[in-house]
Amino acid sequence: MKLILWLAIPILLMVSCAREETSGQPPTVTDSTPVRQLAGKREMPQRPYQWVRRDTLLFEYLGSVELISYNEQTGTYLSRDWPQKKINEFDKTGKLLHSWDFTGAGPTQVGPELYSMAYTPQGDIVVQGQKGYYFYDGQGNFIRKIDFSDKVLPSAISLVGNIFFYERQQQARIASQIISNTSEYDATMKGFYEHATFLLEMNLQGDDYLYAIPYPANSLYRNESHYPLGSRDARISLDKKGQAYAIFPFDPKLYVYDVYDGYALKGYIDTRPEHFDQPPVWLPYNQLPESQQSNKSYFTASSYFKVYSFQDSLIGLVYSQGLPEHYVTAQFKMSDYNDSLYVYNQYYFQLFSGPDKLCPDLALPEGTSIVAYIHSLDEILLTARLSQLEEEPEGALFYLYSLQPVEEEMAKGR
């Protein structure tokens, strides 16, 4: 079947901006076409919430355990071990059920690198390869492949993020995030900012569609003189009601898109982070950073890391306060960012219901590092911080938490 490609870009016009250039800081941007802020229920007050630990789970695997997808029918997780290029399946207690290596150059293999994967609604496994989606059954047997069209994926492309399934126009659709390789643009990076990231959507007959998710018009990224060091890729999540949420690392706004209307931008939610006080280093266009300078900025800047949509209308955001400057020396290397240094970087969790912020920002509990997976407010898996353990565990250690409102009397200190 001949594959069809068409491009639908939300209309975000760049206009002339007034800017004041300062060394190491982003320019002041005045935009006459701001994206609309989505209003919440003004009468809804924020309530204090607390973390309550419910259980400890040891996943029996001596390697990287990155929980990617969950099958509600079987109660199993798909996990990625990126260094070893393996996909592992665990039950909900952490027992290893299957381990597969689908990488390789064969017709049933995904290519040299392991990208993302997910359970299909039917319980099969889909893996995103360099040139298409590869489908396998629950035992790892190859079922079929859906090719990407040549125009969708240029020669240099990065495929990241989760895979999503939903229905649109009475057809089952599959979507995943891709990021254009910066080598396709000139050294100014201006083209990169105008395109930012893409969502690749396909129906299961193989027709594919590419939707651009640019940096929105009044985003701090949309300027013509400076760009920030560190991560610039959007974090994207889709809910079950046809909305996509995108958070850009250094921008304290959650952008909302309509999946059923070609990912048209609806507006943004002001996330109001309470500990977002360390900006990234900004460089003028045409000035390429040194690797140490870029690495240092990545770890010292306050930055959003994850967006989760779950439990119908709830949204969870995770951001890092950033490492204090004196913890990152001038001789800093990526290899220095180990667990002992990781302990100083505080992560915070935000909870929203639509545009409404439900509680003050919550620091992740002591002894945890990152949010591993969210099922509901009653089931949140957090990764254990290894540097605070007396002995290294024989596997990947997770803590199961619930997030509960603090009783009014307790909140008042009674």
- pLDDT the model gives residue 263: 87
Say if residues 245 and 256 touch (Cβ distance below 8 Å).
Answer: yes
Which of 54, 93, 95, 63 shows the shortest CA–CA distance to 380?
Answer: 54
Residue 234 CA to residue 180 CA, distance in Å, equals: 12
Q: Which two tokens stand for residue 89?
A: 């399946």
Query: Is the pLDDT assigned to residue 14 strictly greater than 50?
Result: no
Whether the per-residue pLDDT at 198 is higher than 90: the answer is: no
Question: What whole-number distance in Å separates Cα of residue 120 and Cα of residue 137?
Answer: 10
Give tens-digit pLDDT for 382-413: 999 887 788 889 999 999 999 999 985 455 55
Report the half-sphere exposure of 398 (CA within 13 A, side-chain side): 25
Q: What percent of the chain has pLDDT over 90?
A: 41
Six token digits for residue 349: 């969790």
Q: Which long-range contacts (CB under 8 A, 24 or more apart) does 146-152 make?
A: 146/202, 146/204, 146/206, 147/3, 147/206, 148/3, 148/200, 148/202, 148/208, 149/3, 149/4, 149/5, 149/208, 151/5, 152/3, 152/5, 152/200, 152/208, 152/210
Convert 115-146 into a string of H (helix), E (strand) and C (coil). CCEEECCCCCEEEECCCEEEEECCCCCEEEEE
Q: Is the pLDDT of residue 150 over 80?
A: no
Tokens standing for 192?
A: 């990169």
* Stronger pLDDT, 183 or 17, i.e. the higher one: 183
> Over 70: is that where the pLDDT of 299 sits?
yes
Local confidence band at 333 (pLDDT 50, 70, 90 cut-offs): low
Kindly provide the residue ranges of all beta strands, DSSP E only, lying in 137-206, ordered along the sequence.
142-147, 157-168, 171-180, 197-203
**Strand pairing class (226-228; 282-284):** antiparallel
Query: What pLDDT does 176 receive?
Result: 84
The pLDDT value given to residue 28: 43
Q: What is the pLDDT of residue 194?
A: 62
What integer pLDDT is reported at residue 5 of this predicted model?
28
Q: Supply the pLDDT for residue 32.
A: 41
Specify the residue for token string 């990764």: 383
Q: Provide the β-strand partners of residue 168.
A: 171
Residue 223 pLDDT exceeds 60: yes
* Bigger pLDDT: 79 vs 21: 79
Give residue 33's pLDDT: 52
The residue type found at 295 is N
Return the pLDDT at 41.
63
Buried (b) or exposed (e) across 336-373, using 16+ Cβ within 10 A?
ebeeeebbebebbbbbbebbbbbbebbebeebbbbbbb
- At position 228, the amino acid (one-letter code) is P
Residues 403 and 210: their CA atoms lie apart, in Å, by 37
CA 222 to chain centre: 20
- Beginning with the edge strand found earlier in the chain, give each strand of the sheet holding 125-128 in spatial order: 117-119, 125-128, 132-136, 142-147
Instruction: Give 155's pLDDT tier (boundaries 50, 70, 90).
Output: very low
Task: Specify the pTM.
Answer: 0.85
Instruction: Give me the half-sphere count of Cα atoms (radius 13 Å) on the Cβ side of residue 272.
Output: 13
Average pLDDT over residues 213-241: 78
**266-288: b or e for each residue (b if 16 or more CB lie within 10 Å)?**
bbbbebebeebebbbbbbebeee
Asked whether residue 369 carries a pLDDT value surpassing 70, the answer given is: yes
